[in-house]
Chain A
Amino acid sequence: MQEFDLIIIGAGPAGITAGIYASRRALKTVIISENIGGQIMATTWIENYPGFSQIKAVELVQRFEDHVRHFGVDIIQEMVVELNETEGGFIVKTTQNEYKSKAVILAFGKSPRTLDVPGEKKYTGKGVSYCATCDAPLFRGMPTAVIGGGNSAFEAAHLLSQISSKVYIIHRSDTFRAFETLVEDVKNKGVEFVMNSEVREIKGDNFVKSIVIENNKTGEKKEIQVNGVFVEIGSEVKTDFIKDLVKLDESKHVIVNEKAETFYPNSDKIRHGLFAAGDLTNVPFKQIVVSAGEGCKAALQAYNYIHGIETKGHVADWSASKK
Chain B
Amino acid sequence: MEVILYSADWCPWCQRTKMFLKENKVKFKEMNVDKNPEAARDLIEKTGQMGIPVTLVDGKPIIGYDVPRLKQALKLK
Contacts and interface: CB of A to CB of B under 8 A. Distances in A.
Interface string A116-140: 0000000001110101011101111
A62 interface: yes
Contacts of A131: 11, 13, 51
A41 interface: yes
A129 B8 CA distance: 15
B14 A134 contact: yes
Interface residues of B, number: 25
17 contacts: A43-B12, A58-B16, A62-B16, A78-B68, A96-B68, A125-B63, A131-B11, A133-B10, A134-B14, A134-B51, A134-B52, A134-B53, A135-B11, A138-B43, A138-B44, A140-B37, A140-B40
A131 B33 CA distance: 15
Given A137-B33, A138-B43, A140-B37, A44 B12 contact: yes
Interface in B49-77: 49-53, 63, 65, 67-68
A77 B51 contact: no
A126 B48 contact: yes
Contacts of B2: none
A36 B48 CA distance: 26
B14 to A, nearest CB: 7
B30 interface: no
Contact of A137 (B16, B34, B67): B34
A134 B12 contact: yes
Interface in B1-44: 8, 10-16, 19, 33-34, 37, 40, 43-44
A133 B44 contact: no
A57 interface: yes
B48 A138 contact: no
A43 B10 CA distance: 10
B58 to A, nearest CB: 21
A138 B40 contact: yes
A228 interface: yes
A77 B43 CA distance: 26
A78 to B, nearest CB: 7
Contacts, number: 73
Contact of A228 (B8, B43, B50): B50
A135 B15 contact: no
Contact of A125 (B37, B40, B50, B65): B50
A77 B67 contact: yes
Contacts of A125: 49-51, 63
A52 B15 CA distance: 19
A-B CB proximity, top 8 nearest: A137-B34, A58-B15, A134-B11, A125-B51, A77-B67, A58-B12, A41-B12, A138-B50
B19 A62 contact: yes
A140 B43 CA distance: 13
Contacts of B10: 44, 133
A135 B12 contact: no
Given A126-B50, A138-B51, A206-B48, A77 B8 contact: no
Interface string A127-158: 10101011101111000000000000000000
A61 interface: yes
Contacts of B48: 126, 206
Interface string A52-80: 00001110011000000000000001100
A305 interface: no
A104 B44 CA distance: 41
Contact of A138 (B14, B15, B33, B63): B33
Contacts of A176: none
A58 B52 CA distance: 15
